Amino acid sequence: MSDKSNGIEMLRSSINTICHLNDQIIDAFLSLFTAHKLQNGSDFIREGVMGKHICFVTEGIFRSYYISPKGEEKIKHFFLPGTFFAPLTSLVTNQPSPVYIGTLKDSEYLSADYNAIEVLYTEQPELNKLGRKLAEWAWIGKERRETQLIMLDASSRYKAFREEFPGLERQIPQYHIASYLGITPVQLSRIRANLK
């Protein structure tokens, strides 16, 4: 379940659903990844640090989040097994990361050095297609999130969250869900009481 070879196969099949590339390119890409573990509550990257890796979740739960001037954590996204995460703003802009990424459970992931991927992009231009597809799908995710934040009230966002991350609300404290929804735990509790 958690040894490296299975994680790599999980990654391979994930890539295959995203775009068609010949096996040689995919193998070269996969060879850049190594497996890691991270304890519950640890950060993969913190604000102010340069991003260096692209990652793929094989086990556990990750989140990306900000810390507000008041010291409150604001969760932007949850990452479950089978999904990619990266401090993309940092990687693309070559600036320190504005965002934290960390675990909400003992977790496992594969990571690849972004510079090494960029070298491979040059050697194997077709690989850019994978990068393009990943960025496009990531954009679509953000766009959907933006739509929910602008169009829906907190109660509807909560319902949308439960459909988008089924079962997740039973695995993590509710204040993390409130943070993702952009409300306080108190308000989430009221919303839950209301839905009964």
Binding site for its own copies (CB under 8 A): 66, 68, 74, 76, 88-89, 92-93, 98, 121, 125-126, 128-129, 131-132, 135-140, 142-143, 145-147, 149-151, 182
CA-only gyration radius of the chain, Å: 18
Count of C-beta atoms within a 10 Å radius of residue 2: 13
In which residue are the tokens 């990571």 written? 111
Find all residues with CB under 8 Å of 25, minimum gap 6, and list them.
124, 126, 127
Q: Contact letters (x/-) for DNA, 136-175, by CB under 7 A?
A: -----------------xxx-----------------xxx
- Taking the least distance from each CB to DNA, the nearer of 69 and 166 is 69
Q: How far is the CB of 1 from its own copies (least distance, A)?
A: 31
Q: Estimate the crossing angle of helix 127-151 against helix 154-164, to 10 degrees.
A: 150
- Taking the least distance from each CB to DNA, the nearer of 8 and 61 is 61
In which residue are the tokens 């995203």 written? 18
Q: How far is the CB of 141 from DNA (least distance, A)?
A: 22
Distance, C-alpha 40 to centroid of its chain: 16
Q: How far is the CB of 178 from its own copies (least distance, A)?
A: 12
Would you count residue 61 as binding DNA (CB under 7 A)? no
Binding residues for DNA, rule: CB under 7 A, are 153-155, 173-175, 182-193
